[in-house]
Amino acid sequence: MKKTQIVVYVVVILLLTANLYISFQMQTKLDHIEELTAKHKKSLPCESVPISWAVTHYDCANSLLLAMNVTNVKFEPPGTIHPLLYNRTRQLLIP
C-alpha cells in the first residue's frame, strides 16, 4: 500500500512538472510570435479621415478611396441626390 502511494505521488509530480515545462515553452513561443507580428503589422496609409472633410473635399476623398482600393463607397458633391434615392423619395411623395 505504501509503495503504490509513493509511485502515485511521483507520477503526479512528474506530470505536474511536465505540464509546467510545456506551459512555459508555449508561453515563450507565443510571446515570440506576438513580437514578430507587432514588428510587421502595417496600418492603412490613412487610418481616419473626418467625415466633414470628406464631404467638403469629395474629389480628394474619392481619389483617396480609389487609392485605398475601396470601391463600395463614393462621396457625392453636396446638394446632389443619388438617382435611385431621388426616385424612391419621389415615389413616396406622389400618391
Are residues 17 and 32 in contact, defined by beta-carbon separation less than 8 angstroms? no
One domain for residues 8 and 38: yes
Q: What is the pLDDT of residues 49-60, one digit of tens each?
A: 788 888 788 888
One domain for residues 89 and 57: yes
Q: How far apart are the first and last CA of the chain?
A: 95
One domain for residues 34 and 63: no
One domain for residues 37 and 1: yes
- As for how many domains the chain has, the answer is 2
Q: What is the largest CA-CA distance in the chain?
A: 95
One domain for residues 58 and 89: yes
Q: What is the pLDDT of residues 58-75, one digit of tens each?
A: 888 888 888 888 878 788
Give the residue numbers spanning the domain of 35.
1-42
